Structure 1
Amino acid sequence: MSGTANRIQAEGVIKNIIREIVQECASRGEGVSETLVAFIVKAVVLEPQNDFQVDRVLASDDVKRLIDLCVRRLLDNKSSSLDTIKMQVYFDMNYTTRDEFLTEHRRVLETRLQPILREITDNRASSKDELESLYRKIVSSVLLRSGLGSPTDISVVREATAALQSVFPQTELGNFLSLSKRDKDRQLIELTQIVTGIRLFNKECGKGGEGIDNLPAILNEAIPATLKEIQQQTDDAIDSSEKFIAVLDTMTTLSQKQLSKDATKHKVQESMINSRQLELYLNILSNDVRQSAHEVEELLSQFKARLDQLKTTIQNKTAVPTAQVYPQFMHLATIWFGFQDEMVLLSVLSNICK
């Protein structure tokens, strides 16, 4: 049998072993993920004392022994090393960098938008009713993409429709329908940004803002609260690890006759490692939240400056060239989307801490 065939066979055996372990744990009332089981299987196989031959396919007796060892380890609720592994697996599965997460988050949002966007860009409306229906879909797409209120809230829809009509009246649908799909997509993005900017500006002027949460205020309250919670958990982890280190130091200085069993010392070491790892992960999360605090501060400064510039541009003028005001509305929207990003990131980081 070729090396490739052996590898495929081995992978199939491992997958079956993982499934059996998951099922066995479930039958004993313990739910475990395949990712965690895979981690445990690898650890057990590589431990020299278990005497598994990693360079050949496992015999049936070895498979049974491996499953038994893994199940026993996974059901040991008093094991600090198991808690450490669970923590590592959970963190690896749920944590990613800011840029990676935001890229994925935006991809998911765009994927969710695709059905309504296709309905718009593939539309061949011609009658009055069809054109009105298309316009309503554009309003809905603007609301969904902007995240400023629900497209099922009448007040929000009315406000968004009024803002859209001011820059893209329904009479423009004919020109829109003649565009290529790419140009339609581009125009929908621009319309979302302009309408979002208009609604944010109107809210600032006290003329609207239905369904728009005060994200800067929410973030300025939530970030310190999250940092406080993380710091408390970090302090607890440090306190625990220092206590375990003190115990280990005491055990080391005792005479051999007085020294506790190696198994006891090993458990203390595992508990200390668990606390240290928790501290490490909490520090990573804390740094991310602090970066969010910095980002929010920068965004707020930009947001206020852009609002002031818009007020200066529009104030006491009956008409303002679109070339002057539209880019400013779009920039205002982009800044707001930054606040939304920080809200999502903070929510994820907070959930990881729980």
Structure 2
Amino acid sequence: MDEIMFKNMCKEIMRECKNRSIKVSDRFIAYYVKLLLLNPAWNISLTNAEELSRTDLQNFVKYIYTTLEIKDSPNVVTLKMQLYFQCNFDTNVNIISDYRNKLNTQLQPLEQEILNFKSIEDDDLQKLLKLIVNYLTLLHGLGNPSSDQVYQQAETALKSVFYKSELIEFILEENHDVKIDHLNMLSKLVAGIRVFNQRAMKSGEGIEDLPSLLAQANEQTHSDLHYILHDIMNFVNALTTAIDLGFIIVRDDEEDDGTLKLVLEDQNKYGSYIDYLIDLLVLYRQYEIFIRQIIDEVELSKGKLEAMFEQLENILKETYSIIYHKTMVQASIIYPQFIKIAEIWYIMQNEVIELSNINDTVENLKIYSEQTNRYEDIIYQIIARRQILTDEDRMEKTGMYRKAMLYCKNTIILNPGKIPNFDQEPLELLGFCPWKFVQSGGALIPGNPGNGVVKIKKRYYVFSCVEAILEFIKDPERNVCRVLELARLKPEVIDILRLYDQLDEVKTIYQLVKPIVKVIATADENIQTEDHPERSHIDPEYMWNVWDWKRKALKMADVAKRLTKSTQTNATSSRGSIKVQTHFLKDHNYQTKKDAGTCVPTPSTFIFGLRGRKDDKQFIITLTRPIEEKICADLTENCRK
């Protein structure tokens, strides 16, 4: 990624936001842009300026400032909450370091004055000693040096380890690094001595009782966090139940393989609220996760504090045993003890800074969560009188692993009880159901490992119901891509579901889920058809000549000019209705013909004159008998019979 192009893009977005009075920070814009650029559909290439289209860039910038204009949008609030938490909690070490650096910066003029001090006169030595006492007291937070008692106790502690001769040597030292190291050593010794005296009840004016204060503050913070978490979970459980009940599982009519899908039970009544409620659930789930992380940190801090208190008491007892009833102790023996005490005290002060930062973080997270409308009336309308399920209730439900295995004999469904160290294995999507996440458009419904676990590329997925797991394993790779495809469109879920690395791997692939092309079955068939299924028709009035049409048009125009009259005649006036009696037709048989044969006379001829004649007077004599003779003979024969 070209950092210059990225910064220029962020500057342009900031300029557009400023023109529209949208208050956002540069860091938030950079965070939001990085998440959006995981989606290659924007066609924003930051590696090659020539490939970057101005139109695509304008559309990208317009989408961002249009989204940010809706200040109470759960999506925007979630993103702001995520960035704030990353900058203020995930970097506690940096916060402590920043605090120490800030303190050193404030004390730097005083430090430079001490290092650059050159006079060794008695009055000036006292002045330098006062500067060092003030510096050491402020550096370790051991009271206000303007107080006489605090100053006297600090001065006494300093003089016990830093004599006048050493003070002169310190002034005459030319190497500043050596002076700084000496000054740091003195700060630890003085701090250790003053804390030891304070714990021994001898002195310690202005020094707070850090062990007691830290223990009380830690316990109070822990109690407040659990109260906040209880309130969050009550709302999250109601919201999750409402969204889960708002959808029902039905068969997809567009698919022929019995595929199931989620649809809203009452689209007309709650359709306009469901998307907002889904985004609101993401916000409060993120809020819950942050509070749980803070609780874990406070509990870890409590354990560290208890070990630290015990270590401090042991060192104090050991130090007390070394100096007990002794007027003088070797520096090589007692100085390390005071340094250890100072180091522990220094760590306790860091714990105070961290605990203060935790309280500030919790308060600001609460402010972020209150920027949205919770729509509790709509939520409880959807729930009606049905039971609100908690995450524990969902987990305690009897697992349907065996039922899932009845429907699918595939070994892809694993029994969580047979997976080694399953409790320590991280679940994908933080254990939320991936199928309902996709089908509902981003709803975070907790899964139940008792329904079975699906392992894909060393990643474990759990589901909220048997139908979800059976639909998911029909094409696991495709369904995982559908999760990533939806996450591209909803950047606020990328951080909470820990999908950044997966999306970064496929950020160059424009279409993760390719459409399934249905194969149409075909076959060759032989069909006998008639030669002429339609009977031919010849229109006797058809005219192909245009002049015939013109002639007909002239006749019709001439007829149109004529006047039509009607006349009543005698013949027509007498006409009236006549009733006729009819009857149904009957079937009858009729003999129409009779087959018969006839016998005709056989033709017979004789040529006369072929013999004995020398001329050409031959002629033909007909010997055929008349037909009448044959008929008469037949009649006579019939009569005899």
Alignment TM-score, normalising by the size of structure 2: 0.50
**What is the aligned counterpart of 2:289 among 274, 280, 284?**
280
More strand per residue: 1 or 2?
2
- Give, in whole Å, the separation in 2 of the partners of 1:12 and 1:221: 46
CA deviations on 1:295-349 (whole Å, 9 max, x unpaired) are: 1111111111122222222222222222222221221111111211111110011
- 2:230 corresponds in structure 1 to 235
Q: Is the 8 A contact 1:22 1:34 kept in 2?
A: no
What letter matches 2:83 in structure 1? V
Partner of 2:114: 120
Partner of 1:311: 320
* Counterpart Cα distance in 2 of 1:21 and 1:237: 36
Determine if contact 1:125/1:134 at 8 Å carries over to the other structure.
Answer: no
Are positions 1:214 and 2:206 aligned together? no
Greater mean alpha carbon deviation, residues 121-130 or residues 268-277: 121-130
Report what 1:85 is aligned to: 79
Instruction: Work out the CA distance in 2 between the residues paired with 1:65 and 1:112.
Output: 47
Name 2:126's counterpart in structure 1: 132
SS, match of residue 253 in structure 1: strand
Q: Tell me how far apart the structure 1 counterparts of residues 56 and 283 of structure 2 sit (CA, whole Å).
A: 30
The alignment partner of 2:338 has SS state of helix
Contact 2:170 2:179 in 1 (8 A): yes
What is the aligned counterpart of 1:249 among 238, 244, 256?
244
1:157-182 CA distances to partner (integer Å, 9 max, x unpaired)?
A: 12111111121133321222243322
Shift of 1:152: 2.7
The C-alpha deviation readout for 1:46-75, integer Å capped at 9, x for no partner, is 667xx643134452x666554443333223
* Equivalent in the alignment of 2:182: 187
* Secondary structure at the counterpart of residue 167 of structure 1: coil
Kept in 2, the 8 Å contact 1:303–1:332? The answer is: yes
TM-score by length of 1: 0.86
The sequence identity of aligned pairs, in percent, is 27
Q: Which residue of 1 aligns with 2:25?
A: 33
> Whose helix fraction is larger, Structure 1's or Structure 2's?
1
Instruction: Identify which range, 153-162 or 209-218, moves more after superposition.
Output: 153-162
- Secondary structure of 1:119's counterpart equals helix
Can you give the 5+ residue segments of structure 2 that lack an aligned partner in the other structure?
46-50, 251-262, 364-641
Partners of 1:324 and 1:153 in 2: CA distance? 32
Once the two structures are superposed, what CA deviation does each residue of 1:84-140 show, in whole Å capped at 9, x if it has no partner? 111111112212345444444444444444332222223222333332222222112
Residue 347, structure 1, aligned to residue 374, structure 2: no
Amino acid at match of 2:144: S
Q: Which has the higher contact order (CA 8 A, sep 6+)?
A: 1
8 Å contact from structure 2 (residues 43, 56) kept in 1: no
Q: More displaced, 219-228 or 249-258?
A: 249-258
Structure 1 66/287 Cα, relative in aligned 2: closer, same or farther at 3 Å?
same
Q: Who is 2:274 aligned against?
A: 265
Alignment-mate amino acid for residue 347 of structure 2: G
- In structure 1, distance between residues paired with 2:28 and 2:120: 56
Which amino acid counterpart does residue 251 of structure 1 have in structure 2? G
Determine if contact 2:74/2:279 at 8 Å carries over to the other structure: yes
Structure whose CA Rg is larger: 2
Task: Give the 3-state SS of the residue equivalent to 1:96 in structure 2.
Answer: coil
Do the aligned partners of 1:24 and 1:71 also contact (CA within 8 Å) in 2? no
Deviates more, 1:95-104 or 1:164-173: 95-104
* 187-196 vs 306-315, greater mean Cα deviation: 306-315
Please report how far the alpha carbon of residue 149 of structure 1 lies from its aligned counterpart in structure 2 after TM superposition.
0.9
1:146 aligns with 2:153: no
Question: Which residue does the alignment assign to 2:156?
Answer: 162
Partner of residue 14, structure 1: 9
Instruction: Give the Cα separation in 1 of the matches to 2:143 and 2:15.
Output: 47
**C-alpha distance 46-196 of structure 1, shift in aligned 2 (>3 A):** closer
Cα RMSD for the two superposed structures: 2.7
Unaligned runs of 5+ in 1: none
The code of the aligned residue for 2:116 comes to: D
Q: Equivalent residue for 1:171?
A: 165
Return the offset for 1:271: 1.3
Asked if the contact 2:210/2:348 (under 8 Å) is kept, the reply is yes
Contact 1:21 1:70 in 2 (8 A): no
Distance 2:346 2:311 in 1: 12
Say if 2:119 and 2:125, in contact at 8 Å, map to a contact too: yes
- Aligned in 2, Cα 1:230/1:58: closer, same or farther, shift over 3 Å? farther
Q: 8 Å contact 1:74–1:82 — kept in the other structure?
A: yes
Q: Distance in 1 between matches of 2:38 and 2:331?
A: 67
Deviation string 1:192-236 (CA, Å, 9 cap, x unpaired) is 111112112222333321110111111111101111111122222
- 1:300 match: secondary structure: helix
Q: For residue 89 of structure 2, what is the aligned residue in structure 1?
A: 95
Task: Give yes or no for the alignment of 1:54 onto 2:49.
Answer: no
